[in-house]
C-alpha cells in the first residue's frame, strides 16, 4: 500500500485528518530501503494515520499545506542522504544528477533540507504540533559537528531547525513510542533514541564540553567526539548533554535494537516497491533501478571504517533477519508484475556480515577500547559465512528466480578469516552471484593512509584477489574485480597516490576507474581528522589536503592515462 500523499487518497481511506505528516527531501519511493517509507509503514501498522509530502515547494504553501495539519507531530527528514552530500561533489561543485528526484535532475532538494522544511512548516502553521527531525541528516548532525560545506563547527541541527525533538539512528522503535506518548500527552524526557532541548542539564547524563568551547578548541572537539562515539551502544551508553546557547541539548541513550522478529516484520510490510504515482508522473527515479528487487538481510556494521557513518547511525552490532523472512520476501518479489527473475542484491552495509556476531557484544555491548576488525580481526568475533551460504542457496531455488546477485561490498578480510566457510562462500559467489564484476573496497594500499582509514592492508587484498581469480578461472568464467578507492583522505599525499597507481598497475593489473575524492561527512572520525589535522587516536599531526584543485590532482594521478 502507498502511504497517502494527496487529499483524494485521504478521502478514499476515510481519514478526516492525519496523526503524523512526514516531510522528506527525496521523492516518495515506497521501498524498505527508504527510511521515510519504513517509518510511515511502521506507524500505520501501529494504528496511526500517516501521510507523506515529498520534496515540497519551499516557496509556497501548495505542497506543505495540502494534507492539513497533523494531530500528533510533523516528521522531517532530509531524505536518504545528507542534503549537502546529495547536492554537492567532494570539491563543492553542484551536482546536477539526483537518483531520488523524479526525472533525475537535482533541483528539488534544498541545502540543509531539514532546517528549510522545519521553517517552511512554521511559516504556514503557527503554533503547530511538535516538529520531529529524523533521517541521516538529522541523526549525524545531532550534536555539535564539523560541517565541511561551511568549514565550521555547527550546533546541533535541532537548535538550527528550531524543532522540538530529534529521533536518531534507526528510528522504528523510538518513533512508535514517541507517537504513543504524544497521543497520551505523556512525558518524553526518558525516551531512548531521541534528543530534545532543555533549559537545564540532565542530572544523570555525561556533560560534553559546550558548543562554544568545542567550536573554538579542536582538542575539546576531539574529546567530545570520542565521548559521543563511545556512548552509542544501547547496552552501555549513558545519556549525554551539551550546552548549545543558553540551553542544553539532551541526548538520551540509543533505542534498543529491534529483535529479529521485529526486523522481519519491518521488512515484510506491504511496500509497493515503486515511486508513488503522484511523483512518478514527474519522471522516474534512478534509485529504483538498484533497490526495486533487492533484499536487505541485516543492519549495522562493525567494520568502522573511519570515513563511514554507518556505525554512528545504525550501530556497531549487526542484527539480521531470519532466513525464512528473507525467503518470504523473495517470493513476494517473484509475484511482482515487473519482476523479470533477477534479484539485484542480497546484503546490507557489508554483504558478508550476515548471521553471526560476537557473543560478548550481544551480551554486554561493543568494546570501548578496541575494534572488531581493525587492526586485526578480534578472536571473539568468529566469522561464519555458513548462514549466508544457506540463505543464498534457498533464494536460488525459488521458482521464478533466474539469478541472485550479491552487489553489496564484501569485506574480504572477514571472508579470509573464516577458515571453515570463507572459501566455500566465495566459491558460491563466484559461481552464482556475480554479474561480471565483483566490487571490493580496499580504498587505498599505502599503509599510512590505510591506518588513518582503519582499513586492512594490501597483503590481504592480494590474497583475496588470488583466490577470486583462481575460483573464477576454474569454472572458465569471465569475471573480474572492481576496486573502490579514495583520494585525498586525511593523511594521503600525492606520493601515496602514485604508490597506489603503481600498485594498481603492477599487482592488480588494472587502470582504476572507481576513485572518489574523500568527502568529510558529519560525525565520522575521518572528518574529525580533516578538521583538526590530527590523528584523533594518537594525537599525531597529519597532512590533510584541503585545496580542491590538489584533491582533483590526487584523483587524476590514479585515473589519468599516464
Ligand atoms: S570482543 Fe572483539 S568482536 Fe566483540 S565487541 Fe569487542 S572488539 Fe568486537
Tell me how far apart the alpha carbons of residues 275 and 79 are, in angstroms, rounded to a whole number: 14
Report the atom number in ligand 1 closest to the C-alpha of 379. 2
Ligand 1 pocket list (CB less than 6 A): 358, 360-361, 366-367, 370-372, 378, 380-381
What confidence tens digit (pLDDT) does each residue in 379-423 have? 999 999 999 999 999 999 999 999 999 999 999 999 999 999 999
Tell me how far apart the alpha carbons of residues 465 and 412 are, in angstroms, rounded to a whole number: 9
CB–CB of 348/294 below 8 Å?
no
Distance 419 CA to ligand 1 centre (A): 19
What confidence tens digit (pLDDT) does each residue in 442-455 have? 999 999 999 999 99
Give long-range contacts, CB 8 A cutoff, 24+ apart: 336-343.
Answer: 336/273, 336/293, 338/292, 339/293, 339/400, 340/402, 341/400, 341/401, 341/402, 341/403, 342/293, 342/401, 342/402, 342/403, 342/404, 342/405, 343/293, 343/294, 343/295, 343/395, 343/401, 343/403, 343/404, 343/405
Q: Does residue 562 surpass a pLDDT of 70?
A: no
Q: What is the largest CA-CA distance in the chain?
A: 69
Tell me how far apart the alpha carbons of residues 268 and 266 are, in angstroms, rounded to a whole number: 6
Residue 375: cis peptide before it, omega within 30 degrees of 0: yes
Q: Is 440 helix (H, G, I), strand (E, B) or coil?
A: strand
- Of 515, 510, 483, nearest to 497 by C-alpha is 515
Phi and psi of 83, rounded to 5°? -65, -30
Nearest CA to ligand 1 atom 5: 366
Q: Is 112 helix (H, G, I), strand (E, B) or coil?
A: coil
Question: What is the secondary structure of 40-94 as a DSSP string?
Answer: HHHHHHTT--EEEEES--TTSSTTTTTT---SSEEEEE--SS-HHHHHB-TTSPB
CB–CB of 560/498 below 8 Å?
no
Nearest CA to ligand 1 atom 1: 380
pTM: 0.96
- Of 73, 54, 182, 59, nearest to 124 by C-alpha is 59
Report the atom number in ligand 1 closest to the C-alpha of 367. 6
Distance 427 CA to ligand 1 centre (A): 28
Q: Does residue 173 surpass a pLDDT of 90?
A: yes
Q: Does residue 93 surpass a pLDDT of 90?
A: yes
Tell me how far apart the alpha carbons of residues 403 and 392 are, in angstroms, rounded to a whole number: 10
What confidence tens digit (pLDDT) does each residue in 494-540 have? 999 999 999 999 999 998 988 999 999 999 999 999 999 999 999 99
What confidence tens digit (pLDDT) does each residue in 30-80 have? 999 999 999 999 999 999 999 999 999 999 999 999 999 999 999 999 999
Tell me how far apart the alpha carbons of residues 482 and 475 are, in angstroms, rounded to a whole number: 19
Q: Is 166 helix (H, G, I), strand (E, B) or coil?
A: strand
Distance 559 CA to ligand 1 centre (A): 37
What residue ranges in 203-331 does DSSP mark as E strands? 206-208, 240-243, 248-251, 274-275, 294-296, 298-299, 319-320
Q: Give 298: exposed, middle or buried? Use CB within 10 Å, 0-12, 13-18, 19+.
A: buried
Please provide the distance, in angstroms rounded to a whole number, between the alpha carbons at the two ends of the chain.
54
Tell me how far apart the alpha carbons of residues 488 and 526 are, in angstroms, rounded to a whole number: 11
Amino acid at each position: 500500500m502507498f502511504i497517502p500523499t494527496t487529499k483524494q487518497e485521504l478521502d478514499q481511506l476515510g481519514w478526516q485528518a492525519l496523526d503524523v505528516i512526514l516531510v522528506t527531501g527525496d521523492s516518495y519511493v515506497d521501498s524498505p530501503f527508504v527510511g521515510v517509507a519504513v517509518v510511515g509503514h511502521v506507524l500505520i501498522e501501529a494504528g496511526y494515520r500517516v501521510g507523506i509530502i515529498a520534496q515540497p515547494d519551499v516557496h509556497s504553501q501548495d505542497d506543505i499545506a495540502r494534507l492539513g495539519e497533523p494531530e500528533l507531530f510533523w516528521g522531517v527528514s532530509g531524505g536518504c542522504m545528507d542534503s549537502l552530500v546529495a547536492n554537492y561533489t567532494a570539491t563543492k561543485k553542484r551536482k546536477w544528477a539526483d537518483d531520488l528526484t523524479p526525472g533525475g535532475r537535482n533541483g528539488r532538494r534544498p541545502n540543509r533540507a531539514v532546517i528549510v522544511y522545519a521553517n517552511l512548516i512554521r511559516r504556514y502553521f503557527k503554533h503547530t504540533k511538535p516538529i520531529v527531525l529524523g533521517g541521516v541528516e538529522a541523526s549525524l548532525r545531532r550534536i555539535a559537528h564539523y560541517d565541511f560545506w561551511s568549514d565550521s563547527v555547527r550546533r546541533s541541527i535541532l537548535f538550527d531547525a528550531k524543532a522540538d525533538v530529534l529521533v536518531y539512528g534507526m528510528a522504528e522503535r523510538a518513533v512508535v513510542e514517541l507517537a504513543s506518548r504524544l497521543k497520551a500527552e505523556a512525558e518524553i524526557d526518558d525516551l531512548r533514541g531521541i534528543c530534545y532541548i532543555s533549559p537545564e542539564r540532565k542530572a544523570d547524563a555525561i556533560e560534553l564540553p559546550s558548543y562554544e568551547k568545542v567550536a573554538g578548541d579542536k582538542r575539546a572537539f576531539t574529546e567530545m567526539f570520542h565521548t559521543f562515539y563511545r556512548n552509542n551502544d544501547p547496552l552501555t551508553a549513558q545519556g549525554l548533554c551539551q550546552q548549545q546557547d543558553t540551553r542544553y541539548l539532551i541526548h538520551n541513550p540509543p533505542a534498543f535494537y529491534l529483535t529479529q522478529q521485529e526486523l522481519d516484520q519491518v521488512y515484510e510490510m506491504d511496500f509497493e516497491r515503486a515511486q508513488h504515482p503522484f511523483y512518478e508522473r514527474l519522471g522516474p527515479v534512478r534509485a529504483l533501478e538498484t533497490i526495486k528487487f533487492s533484499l536487505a538481510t541485516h543492519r549495522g556494521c562493525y567494520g568502522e571504517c573511519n570515513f563511514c557513518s554507518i556505525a554512528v547511525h545504525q550501530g556497531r552490532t549487526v542484527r539480521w533477519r531470519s532466513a525464512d523472512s528473507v525467503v518470504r520476501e523473495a517470493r513476494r518479489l517473484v509475484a511482482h508484475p515487473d519482476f523479470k527473475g533477477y534479484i539485484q542484491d542480497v546484503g546490507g552495509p557489508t554483504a558478508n556480515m550476515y548471521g553471526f556476531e560476537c557473543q560478548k557484544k550481544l551480551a554486554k555491548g561493543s568494546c570501548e577500547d578496541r575494534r572488531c576488525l581493525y587492526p586485526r580481526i578480534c578472536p571473539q568475533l568468529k566469522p561464519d559465512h555458513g548462514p549466508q551460504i544457506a540463505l543464498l542457496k534457498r533464494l536460488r531455488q525459488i521458482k521464478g528466480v533466474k539469478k541472485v546477485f550479491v552487489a553489496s561490498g564484501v569485506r574480504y578480510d572477514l571472508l579470509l578469516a573464516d577458515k571453515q566457510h570463507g572459501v566455500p562462500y566465495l566459491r558460491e559467489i563466484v559461481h552464482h552471484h556475480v554479474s561480471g564484476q565483483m566490487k571490493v573496497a580496499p580504498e587505498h594500499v599505502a599503509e599510512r593512509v590505510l591506518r588513518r582509514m582503519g582499513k586492512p592492508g594490501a597483503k590481504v587484498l592480494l590474497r583475496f584477489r588470488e583466490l577470486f581469480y583462481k575460483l573464477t578461472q576454474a569454472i572458465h568464467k569471465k569475471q573480474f574485480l572492481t576496486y573502490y578507492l579514495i583520494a585525498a583522505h586525511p593523511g594521503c599525499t600525492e606520493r601515496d597516490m602514485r604508490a597506489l597507481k603503481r600498485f594498481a598497475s603492477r599487482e592488480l593489473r588494472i587502470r582504476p576507474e572507481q576513485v572518489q575524492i574523500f568527502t568529510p561527512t558529519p560525525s565520522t572520525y575521518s572528518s574529525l581528522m580533516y578538521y583538526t589535522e590530527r590523528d584523533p587516536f594518537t594525537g599525531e599531526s597529519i597532512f590533510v589536503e584541503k585545496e580542491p584543485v590538489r584533491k582533483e590532482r590526487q584523483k587524476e594521478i590514479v585515473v589519468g592515462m599516464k
